C-alpha cells in the first residue's frame, strides 16, 4: 500500500447509517424512542415540591430548599427539551428521514444513533450547531 493510499484510508469516515434500514431495525429504534418518551412524560408529570414554611434561624434549611427547587426546575426544563428531541425523532421515523442529518443531509453514524437515537445531526454538524452555528 502506498503512502497516499494509507493516508486516504486513515481519513475515510466511519460508515454511515444505511437509510434503508430494515423494518426490524426501525421497530427497535421506535420502541426505544417511545420508551424514552414515556419516561420523560412521567418525570414531567411529577410536581415540583414548593419550599415549606421557614422558621426563625433556619437559613441553611431555606437555602437547601431553594437549591433543590432550582435544581428541579432546571432538570424539568432539560427534560422538556429532551422530550421535544425524542418527539422530533419519532416524526423523522414516520416520514422516512430518520438517520439523515438535518443540517447537511448526510447519514448519521450508526454508533451515534445507537447511543442517541434522537440525534438530529451528524457529529460534525452537532459541533457546529453546539457552538451556535
pLDDT of 45-87, one tens digit each? 987 766 666 665 677 777 888 888 899 899 999 999 999 999 9
State pLDDT tens for residues 13-35: 444 445 556 666 888 999 999 99
**pLDDT confidence of residue 6:** 45
**Higher-confidence position of 23 and 101:** 101
Is the confidence at residue 41, as pLDDT, over 90? yes
DSSP the chain: --HHHHHHHHHPPPPPPPSS--HHHHHHHHHHHHHHHHHHHHHHHSPPPPP----TT-HHHHHHHHHHHHHHHHHHHHHHHHHHHHHHHHHHHHHT-TTB-TTT-PBPPHHHHHH-TT--S-HHHHHHHHTT-
**pLDDT confidence of residue 98:** 93
* First and final C-alpha spacing in the chain: 39
Give me the residue spans of the domains in the chain: 15-50+58-130
Average pLDDT for 106-126: 94
**Integer CA distances (angstroms), 18 to 32, 39, 79, 97, 107, in order:** 18, 28, 29, 11, 7
**Higher-confidence position of 123 and 57:** 123
C-alpha cell at 95: 416520514
CATH class name, domain 15-50+58-130: mainly alpha
For a pLDDT cut of 70, what percent of the chain falls above it?
74
**pLDDT confidence of residue 90:** 97
**pLDDT confidence of residue 57:** 62
> Are 98 and 122 contacting, i.e. CB atoms less than 8 angstroms apart?
no
Amino acid at each position: 500500500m502506498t503512502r497516499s493510499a494509507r493516508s486516504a484510508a486513515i481519513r475515510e469516515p466511519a460508515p454511515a447509517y444505511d437509510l434503508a434500514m430494515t423494518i426490524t431495525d426501525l421497530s427497535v429504534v421506535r420502541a426505544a424512542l417511545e420508551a424514552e418518551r414515556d419516561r420523560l412524560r412521567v418525570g414531567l408529570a411529577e410536581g415540583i415540591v414548593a419550599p415549606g414554611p421557614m422558621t426563625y434561624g433556619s437559613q441553611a434549611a431555606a437555602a437547601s430548599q431553594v437549591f433543590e427547587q432550582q435544581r428541579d426546575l432546571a432538570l424539568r426544563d432539560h427534560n422538556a427539551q429532551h422530550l421535544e428531541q425524542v418527539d422530533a425523532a419519532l416524526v423523522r421515523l414516520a416520514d422516512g428521514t430518520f438517520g439523515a442529518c438535518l443540517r447537511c443531509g448526510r447519514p448519521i453514524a450508526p454508533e451515534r444513533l445507537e447511543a442517541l437515537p434522537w440525534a438530529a445531526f451528524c457529529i460534525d454538524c452537532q459541533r457546529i450547531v453546539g457552538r451556535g452555528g
